[in-house]
Amino acid sequence: MAIFGYKFNVSKRAAKLRCSRVPAFLPGTLLSALLALISFPSLAGWQPALTANEQATATSLALQSIATRSAAASSGKSESAQTRNGNAGNELPVGSPQLEIEVLLVEVQHSKKNRIARIAEVFVFDYQRGVTELHRVNMENDEVIEVIEIASPHLPLNSREQQAATALAVTNDQVRQQLETEYQRAFGRALTTFDEIDMKVSVWQPQPHQSNSSEIARTCDHERCALISVFTRDNYSFSLEPVVNLMQNVVYPEALQ
């Protein structure tokens, strides 16, 4: 108790006088120190972010693992039996990325259980099999140590998926017509080029009430879909928000209307 400036064998009055001389900031300082000590164990599994080289290495190893497994699984099977994506009647527009094995996120693992090894986590979506996977890569020996299938298809879109969704939307006749009509009504002039508008593309995870009332939403509950919000350069927001099913290459212009 010496830190408070008194001992137990002094009188109560003396103790009160000595305590009154304690700087006002001291209790706060002590509290901060205690909180730091309490939270310190949570940093035990913390790892610095992956470098660009580590991300590239982890991605390459995860893709090699997928290719090796796919080659083994495809032995003796026809192309049509292997593929869940690739509706021949709904091809992507010319110049759009062909979606196959898409890397969604690469990050370092933070784990209290693992305080030594540096583990990278690579999240991918396999459009050929229609599954999301997490690949854990030991960066100490460049080895894929675990592959976990994730039930949800709703991890954030990568840039290739965003480009594919945008390309499908702007080449859809109904989407173009509705955007041109609304632009004419809002600004009193024709929409001459799509360079005048911006599109924000995000993964669409339907809400329960949407899935209960919409066949499109029920489909996008278990397939990878994109929601497109459309704006002008001066932030006018169009009422149209098309949904794009990236696994079937299908555009639903009025899915949310």
pLDDT of residue 123: 98
pLDDT of residue 70: 84
CB 161 within 8 Å of CB 226: yes
Share of the chain residues as helix, strand and coil, in percent rounded to the nearest 5: 40, 20, 40
Residue (of 211, 247, 207) closest to 226 by Cα position: 247
pLDDT of residue 9: 45
Instruction: Give ranges for CATH 3.10.450.40 in the chain.
Output: 159-252
Q: What is the pLDDT along the chain (257 residues), one digit of tens a residue?
A: 444 333 434 444 444 444 444 444 445 555 454 444 444 444 556 788 999 999 999 999 999 999 998 888 776 555 444 444 444 446 778 778 899 999 999 999 987 765 668 999 999 999 999 999 999 999 999 999 999 999 999 999 999 999 999 999 999 999 999 999 999 999 999 998 888 899 999 999 998 888 777 899 999 999 999 999 999 988 899 999 999 999 999 999 987 66
For the sheet with 250-252, list strands across it. 197-203, 225-232, 243-245, 250-252
Q: Strands (DSSP E) along the chain, which ranges?
A: 101-108, 119-126, 131-138, 143-150, 197-203, 225-232, 243-245, 250-252
> 52-150 sits in which CATH class?
alpha beta
State the pTM of this model.
Answer: 0.76
pLDDT of residue 165: 97
Residue type, 53: N
pLDDT of residue 27: 53
pLDDT of residue 46: 74
CATH of span 159-252: 3.10.450.40
pLDDT of residue 2: 42
Residue 144 bridge partners (DSSP): 137
- What pairing do the DSSP bridges indicate for beta strands 225-232 and 101-108? unpaired
Give the CA distances from residue 250 to residues 25, 165, 176, 179, 217, in Å, rounded to whole numbers and listed in that order: 63, 9, 15, 18, 13
**Spatial distance between the Cα atoms of 166 and 201, rounded to a whole number of angstroms:** 8
